[in-house]
Amino acid sequence: MNTITTIVKREYREFWRRGLLRWLLLPVLALLVMATLVGFQRHHRYQAEMAAGTELSRQHWENQGEKNPHSAAHYGIYLFKPLNALSFFDFGVNPYTGSVFFLEAHYRSNAAFAAINDRSTLGRFGIFSPAFLLAFIAPLLIIFFGHASVSGERRRGTLDLVAATGSSPRHWLLGKWLATMSLIPPLVLTVLATAVIAAAIHGPIPSESWWRLAGLALLYAVYLGVFANLSLIASALTKHSGASLMLLVAFWIGSGLALPRLAASTSEQLHPTPNQVQFEKLMSEEKKAGLPGDGDKQARTEKLKEETLASYGVDKLEDLPINFNALAMQADEEYSDRVFDKHYRELFTIHANQDRIHRLFSLLSPTLAVRLSSMALAGTSPEDHRHFSGQAEIYRREFVALLNHNMMVHSKTGDWGYKADGELWHAMPTFKSQPMDPRFQAARFGNHGAILAFWFLISTALLLGWLPRRVFRRSTGSGPIREPHATDPKPAHGEVTTPC
C-alpha cells in the first residue's frame, strides 16, 4: 500500500508541476460550475415562464366569453410540459422537441416552440450543460492526463528504472490508475456542490431528485473511469505517447461523435420515420376514407344517424332531444382517435426499433451509453417526452368530449348559434401531469447503465489483470517481466524483503 501511495503522490506532484492541474483541470471545473449555475437558472426561468404561460392560457380560456363549444374547441388551450428538476443537469431531448402543446379539436398535438429553433446556427453545435461537459469534455481531460502515463515513462527511460527497483508492475499500474481515477471525483463533486449552492439560491429541488443526481454523478464517474482505464491501456500498449494520444482521441471521436451519428443514420435507414407531412396526410385521408370495413365518413355518419333515431324512437333529427351535430362531431372525434392511435402506435414501434439500434451501438460507444442512461435518469429522454405527449393527448380528448357533450345536451340539431358561457369554461378540469412509472425509468436506466458497467469492468480487468504482465516488457525483448509469485523462494531472515 505504501508503494501505491508513493506512486500516486509522485503522479500528483508531476501533474501539479507540469501545470496540468492548473491549466487543464481547473478550467474544466470552472466550466462545470458555470454550466450547473446556468442550467439551474435556465430551469428556473423556464419553470417561471411555464407557470406564467399556464396561468395566462387558463385565464384566456376562462375569459373567452360566450361562445359555441365547438368554436371554443378550436380556440384551444396551451399545455406546457413541466421539466424534470434534473433538466438543469441534462437537457436531453427537450431543446429539440419543444415544450408547448396546443390542444384543439380534430388534431393530435405535437410539441412546438423547440428551443433549438431560437438559436443561431452556431448555437446548434452543442448545448452547454453539465452532462455535455462530463460526456464530451471531461473524457478529453482524462485522456490528456492519462495518455503518457506509461508511454511517457517508457520514452523518458524512467520505466526501466522503476522496473529495476523490483517494484510490482501491478502495484505500479494500480498507483497510476488511482492517480488518474482521482481526477474524477472533483469533476462530479463539483457539479453536486454547485447544485447544492444553486438550490439554495434558486429554491430547493425535490429530495427524490437529489438521489437521482447522486446516481448521475456515479454514472458519469463510471463513464470517466472507462476513459481513465482506456487511457492507461493505450499508454501501456503504445511505444510513444503521441501514438496513444492519437489512438485515444480517435476513440473519443468514434465514441462521442461518429458512432452516435452512425447509430442515428443506421436506425433511420433500417426503420425510417415517416415524413411529418405525409404522416398527417395519411391520417387525414384515413379519417375520411375510414379504416378497413368501416366505410367513409359519410357512411359512418349516416349509420350513426339511423342508430340514434332508432334509439330515441323518432324519425327526424329535429325531433331528437339532443344536438345530433355535436353527437356526430364527438363520434368523428373518437373515430379520429382510433386512427391516431393506430398510426402513433406504428410510429412508436418505429421509435422503439430505432432505440434498439441505438442500444446496440452503445455496446461500442460508452458515450452513447452514458447519454442514454443520463437522459433516462434526468427524465429528459425521448420516452419521457412521449409519456407527456400521451398525457396531453388524453387531456385533449377529455377536453373536446366535454365541449361536444355540452353542445349535445344543451342545444338541438342545427343550432349552430348555441353559445356556452363562462360556467363551462370554468368547469374544464386543469391539466395535471403524472410522472412516469419509476420502474420503467429504472429499467431503461439499467439497460444502458449495464452496458457502461460492462465497459468499466472489462477495461479494469484488462488494466489490472492482464496488463501488469506486459507493462515492463521491453520493445527489444520478447518476454515479460515475471510477476513475483507466491511459490518464489522466500528470503532468509535478515534479507531484504521489500520488492526492491
Partner 1 sequence: MLEAKNLSKNYGHYTALSQLNLSIEAGEVFCLLGANGAGKTTTIHLFLNFIEPSEGEARVNGRSVVDAPHLARAELAYIPERVNVYDQLTGVENLDFFAQLGGQRHGRSELLDYLSQVGLPARAAYQRVATYSKGMRQKVCLAIALAKQARALLLDEPTSGLDPKAANEFIQLLGDLAERGVAILMATHDLFRAREVGHRVGIMKQGHLLETVPTSSISATDLEKLYLQHMHD
Regarding 394 and contact with partner 1 (CB under 8 A), the answer is: no
Which residue number, 183 or 221, has a Cβ lying nearer to partner 1?
183
Regarding 474 and contact with partner 1 (CB under 8 A), the answer is: yes
Q: Are 389 and 111 in contact (CB under 8 A)?
A: yes
Which residue number, 14 or 285, has a Cβ lying nearer to partner 1?
14
Mark out the alpha helices in 238-275 (DSSP H runs). Answer: 241-253, 259-270
Give the binding range for partner 1 (CB under 8 A) out of 66-74, 96-104, 154-162, 308-316: 154-162
Regarding 269 and contact with partner 1 (CB under 8 A), the answer is: no
Q: State the minimum distance, in angstroms, from the CB of residue 207 to partner 1.
A: 46
User: Which of 63, 165, 273, 275 is in the footprint of partner 1 by CB under 8 A?
Assistant: 165
Which residue number, 160 or 437, has a Cβ lying nearer to partner 1?
160
Residue 89 carries which DSSP code? T
Regarding 156 and contact with partner 1 (CB under 8 A), the answer is: yes
Q: State the minimum distance, in angstroms, from the CB of residue 159 to partner 1.
A: 10
Regarding 494 and contact with partner 1 (CB under 8 A), the answer is: no
| DSSP for 404-454, written as a single string | HHHHHHHS-TT-TT--B-HHHHHHSPPP---PPPHHHHHHHHHHHHHHHHH
Can you tell me the distance from the alpha carbon of 269 to that of 257, in angstroms, rounded to the nearest whole number? 18
Q: Are 132 and 126 in contact (CB under 8 A)?
A: yes
> Per CB under 8 A, which of residues 98..137 are in contact with partner 1?
none
Q: State the minimum distance, in angstroms, from the CB of residue 387 to partner 1.
A: 54
Regarding 63 and contact with partner 1 (CB under 8 A), the answer is: no
Q: State the minimum distance, in angstroms, from the CB of residue 145 to partner 1.
A: 14
Regarding 13 and contact with partner 1 (CB under 8 A), the answer is: yes
Give the binding range for partner 1 (CB under 8 A) out of 194-202, 315-323, 330-338, 474-482: 474-482
Regarding 477 and contact with partner 1 (CB under 8 A), the answer is: yes
Can you tell me the distance from the alpha carbon of 329 to that of 323, in angstroms, rounded to the nearest whole number? 10
Which residue number, 206 or 499, has a Cβ lying nearer to partner 1?
499
Q: Are 389 and 340 in contact (CB under 8 A)?
A: no
Can you tell me the distance from the alpha carbon of 236 to that of 234, in angstroms, rounded to the nearest whole number? 5
Regarding 1 and contact with partner 1 (CB under 8 A), the answer is: no
Q: State the minimum distance, in angstroms, from the CB of residue 10 to partner 1.
A: 5
Which residue number, 206 or 491, has a Cβ lying nearer to partner 1?
491
Q: State the minimum distance, in angstroms, from the CB of residue 175 to partner 1.
A: 10
User: Which of 161, 201, 253, 461 is in the footprint of partner 1 by CB under 8 A?
Assistant: 161
User: Which of 1, 122, 200, 496 is in the footprint of partner 1 by CB under 8 A?
Assistant: 496
Regarding 476 and contact with partner 1 (CB under 8 A), the answer is: yes
Regarding 14 and contact with partner 1 (CB under 8 A), the answer is: yes
Query: Is 38 exposed, middle or buried, given 0-12, 13-18 or 19+ CB atoms closer than 10 A?
Result: middle
What dihedral do alpha carbons 401, 405, 411, 417 form, nearest 10°? Answer: -20
User: Which of 17, 432, 439, 493 is in the footprint of partner 1 by CB under 8 A?
Assistant: 17
Can you tell me the distance from the alpha carbon of 247 to that of 227, in angstroms, rounded to the nearest whole number? 12
Can you tell me the distance from the alpha carbon of 431 to that of 162, in angstroms, rounded to the nearest whole number? 68
User: Which of 132, 324, 344, 472 is in the footprint of partner 1 by CB under 8 A?
Assistant: 472
**SS (HEC) of 464-500:** HHHHHHCCCCCCCCCCCCCCCCCCCCCCCCCCCCCCC
Q: Which three cell numbers stand for residue 376?
A: 433516462
Regarding 167 and contact with partner 1 (CB under 8 A), the answer is: yes
> Per CB under 8 A, which of residues 207..246 are in contact with partner 1?
none
Give the binding range for partner 1 (CB under 8 A) out of 69-77, 155-163, 348-356, 407-415: 155-163
Helix axes 207-237, 438-461, angle to 10 degrees: 20
Number of residues that make up the chain: 500
Residue 315 carries which DSSP code? S
| DSSP for 2-68, written as a single string | HHHHHHHHHHHHHHHHTTHIIIIIHHHHHHHHHHHHHHHHHHHHHHHHHHHHHHHHHHHHHTS-SB-
The 18-57 contact track toward partner 1, x by CB under 8 A, reads x---------------------------------------
User: Which of 118, 315, 423, 488 is in the footprint of partner 1 by CB under 8 A?
Assistant: 488
Q: Are 360 and 262 in contact (CB under 8 A)?
A: no
Q: State the minimum distance, in angstroms, from the CB of residue 9 to partner 1.
A: 8
Can you tell me the distance from the alpha carbon of 233 to that of 223, in angstroms, rounded to the nearest whole number? 16
Q: State the minimum distance, in angstroms, from the CB of residue 463 to partner 1.
A: 20
User: Which of 117, 158, 275, 353 is in the footprint of partner 1 by CB under 8 A?
Assistant: 158
Q: Which three cell numbers stand for residue 314?
A: 323518432
Which residues lie near partner 1 (CB under 8 A)? 2-3, 6-7, 10, 13-14, 17-18, 156-158, 160-167, 172, 472-474, 476-482, 484, 488-489, 491, 495-500
